[in-house]
Amino acid sequence: MRFVQDIPHPQFRIGLYAWNGKYILKIEAGPYEQTYKVSEMDVADSADVLQMLDTDFLNRVTQRFADMDTDWQATGERNEVF
């Protein structure tokens, strides 16, 4: 996997990679990670991937991280691990 660039963001660590004909966007928040894969054939270049990181998308990413944390905490409590 080839590192393309870090994408500055105040809340998340966002990295863009290229691998096997795809751009891979990794968004990290604490112990959680969301990964999105985009075929290089579907976009003109990596700038198109960056353009997709609009406010609506990042708001949904934020909500998804919150849901991931809720699910993780619930399974820990349900199984008496936490």
Q: What is the pLDDT of residues 41-63, one digit of tens each?
A: 999 999 999 999 999 999 999 99
How many separate domains does the chain show?
Answer: 1
Domain of 42 in residue numbering reads as 2-78
**Alpha-carbon gap, residue 22 to 79, rounded angstroms:** 38
Structure confidence at residue 48 (pLDDT): 96
Number of H helices, E strands in the chain: 2, 4
The stretches of the chain forming alpha helices (DSSP H) are 46-51, 55-78
CB 57 within 8 A of CB 49: no
Which of the 8 DSSP states describes residue 65?
H
**What parts of the chain have a pLDDT lower than 70?**
none
3-state secondary structure of 37: strand
Structure confidence at residue 75 (pLDDT): 97
